Structure 1
């Protein structure tokens, strides 16, 4: 015969359950962000600060930005749910999508990322076109960079130039700004990087365009996005998406966030947009 649970025991059980729920709820009150380290740590922190502040006000929860040491670490952090949301390049999104068995979801991308481009730059007067890179020292960014390696390599191969066979040396600077520095200092004769960083360096007067210039601009492709883990509650996912889509340069807050993110505005995106990146990665033997 089953005896009814004593009132005291029932009360204790309910209290424990309530405390457990409260602890769980509190744990959900922190949204953890990270980003691929495609620029210097100080620049990444500068770009993250206004967004963190904005999301905290829109989501009514604490938001924390956590830097990672390399591209692979950003992928592992989201796949293993050490962070809730990550700023990925197209290739790192594909890596995370494959690594997680499809358990990551891209939410938004900048309008610019629908037609993103890379540039090849050089400070060597003898380098005027891609064909002139043969026999030269050329730097990419990170090996996992979409705009600093994968897509530049993809377009080189399409031009029948194999970096591993045709270049004297292939270098990896680790970040776009480091690639500019390597070319400007003469450590390499040319480098490939994302057009957004190059444009910012030129606008800020951080590169002498009389000495370093663009020799080739790639065709357009899909690139960066903000991605979350598929286990994130749908309500929170939708709230984040709406907050990002609501950013506008017509408000002081929106303008600050969008300017440091180098974005006109954010637009919705989906995994299918990155099929071309995945195909390029597989074709180049990088995936």
Structure 2
């Protein structure tokens, strides 16, 4: 006997209802995890674990108060791990450099959204440092041992490399040795200890070390500062409910120096204030990565 089948319109309605139901369940699951449970946060490990934890603690407490949910900071071992964590929704919010944001944007097929950046990140810079009196310009790095930070670092590798290439220097062929320290503070330590003749790092960490007198300026000095570029941001996965994204953005945007809490957080984040950002701001970073063969 021939089995009867439902009219195509009925099947279509059922299929649509099934898709809608699955989408609703996904959205509900995300909302429950984030509004009724825990907001999971991570950051690229561009400084030592102890320094990152020190910087994160007051901010996590502040976000808990603003969002009305528990906020957990989870460190990662390297830059790539921070990208994978957000792309695979193991975390909800990540502090990225410009390059790691671009990597996450590409890896996720555009499914990550940059929310805010520090005002300083609109015109960020890198510095090259040395203890060698003979090094005065980028050209003087030929035949020398030079350290970058992490290979995935915007300010500790990608942009310094980009400006070197623009100056006609190829690190792999023109330097005696290319090293990767893994973090900005480690680059300073490597240069100061004479392990390399020069190193590149972000200007924010350098200025912090100078202000805290953690570097001997009679020995270590800046000999080149790059032109400005866009850098760090706080990024979320696109599947985060829009209402929560807006609430999170506002929490950052309303941070001010008019309260002791705001002063402490902004000082630790080395920020004047946070401002809105967008994916288009990082097209220059993406172009530089492609030009350098890193993307």
Residue 283 (1) aligns with residue 291 (2)? yes
CA shift for structure 1 position 24: 7.0
Question: Which of 67, 84, 92 is equivalent to 2:75?
Answer: 67
Corresponding residue of 1:118: 126
Corresponding residue of 2:144: 136
Q: TM-score, normalised by structure 1?
A: 0.91
Distance 1:53 1:91 in 2: 28
Count of residue correspondences = 268
Consecutive unaligned residues in structure 1, runs of 5 or more: 1-20
Alignment of 1:205-284 (within 5 A): 205-284=213-292
Distance 1:196 1:53 in 2: 24
Corresponding residue of 2:47: 39
Question: Which of 159, 171, 177 is equivalent to 2:179?
Answer: 171
Alignment of 1:147-226 (within 5 A): 147-226=155-234
CA RMSD for the aligned pairs?
1.4
Corresponding residue of 2:33: 27
* 1:167-190 deviation line (CA, Å, top 9, x unaligned): 000000000000000000000000
Corresponding residue of 2:109: 101
Distance 1:171 1:82 in 2: 31
Question: Which of 67, 83, 92 is equivalent to 1:84?
Answer: 92
Distance 2:29 2:119 in 1: 38
Corresponding residue of 2:15: none
Q: TM-score, normalised by structure 2?
A: 0.89
CA shift for structure 1 position 26: 5.0
Distance 1:24 1:99, change over 3 A: closer
Paired residue secondary structure (1:128):
coil
Paired residue secondary structure (2:161):
helix
Paired residue secondary structure (1:188):
coil
CA shift for structure 1 position 128: 1.0
Distance 1:33 1:23 in 2: 18
Distance 1:230 1:242 in 2: 17
Distance 2:107 2:242 in 1: 22
Distance 1:119 1:93 in 2: 21
Deviates more, 1:262-271 or 1:120-129: 120-129
Distance 1:241 1:25, change over 3 A: closer
